[in-house]
Amino acid sequence: MSHCSVHRLLEKRENGEQSKKDQETQKVLEEKNQQPAWMKKEIERKDHEITRTKIELQTTLSVLEKASDREVGNQLRLGQTERIVSQKERTIEEQKRIIQKQVILIHKLKDEKQLLSDQRLCKICCSEEIRVFPIPCGHLTSCRNCASNTHECPVCRKRIEKLESAFLP
């Protein structure tokens, strides 16, 4: 619309002469004048909405970052805990092997003790410890009571000439 036609429109308006076309043109101009205020309010509303959404997103992002940091910390602690547990399990397994070896050794020692104890018992009565040995052979076989009732060595069958006391540790 040229400057002249606007001038004419204004003159016609002043004169009260408005055609239908002029009325439509005036309506468009009024809408244009009103539209920026309406658009301004809508833009302000949208800006406010965008700002609120940005704040919500920043808050959510912050919460997620904190949760992520906690999760990373938890995973680190979990990893450390798993390593410690694994190390403890290996230590326990090693201690079990050591204990098993010690148990086997204890059984061997008990068996040896029993064997030594049995070796110190009289071969005749099997209840008293050996306290004497016969001369000439020297076999350690009898307690004093059983040896005094025998005339031959129970091992080699040699005649016992004399009994000597045996001192076993």
Residue 15 lies inside a defined structural domain of this protein: no
CA dihedral in degrees (151, 156, 158, 162; nearest 10)? -60
Residue 50 lies inside a defined structural domain of this protein: yes
Tell me the pLDDT tens digit for each residue of 126-137. Answer: 888 888 989 888
Residue 149 lies inside a defined structural domain of this protein: yes
Domain span holding position 149 = 120-169
Of residues 14 and 125, the one with the higher pLDDT is 125
- Provide the number of structural domains found in the chain: 2
Contacts of 140 (CB under 8 A, 6+ apart): 130, 133, 166, 168
Q: Which pLDDT score, from 0 to 100, does residue 72 have?
A: 75
CATH number for the domain harbouring residue 146: 3.30.40.10
Residue 14 lies inside a defined structural domain of this protein: no
Q: Is the pLDDT of residue 53 over 60?
A: yes
* 112 & 144 share domain: no
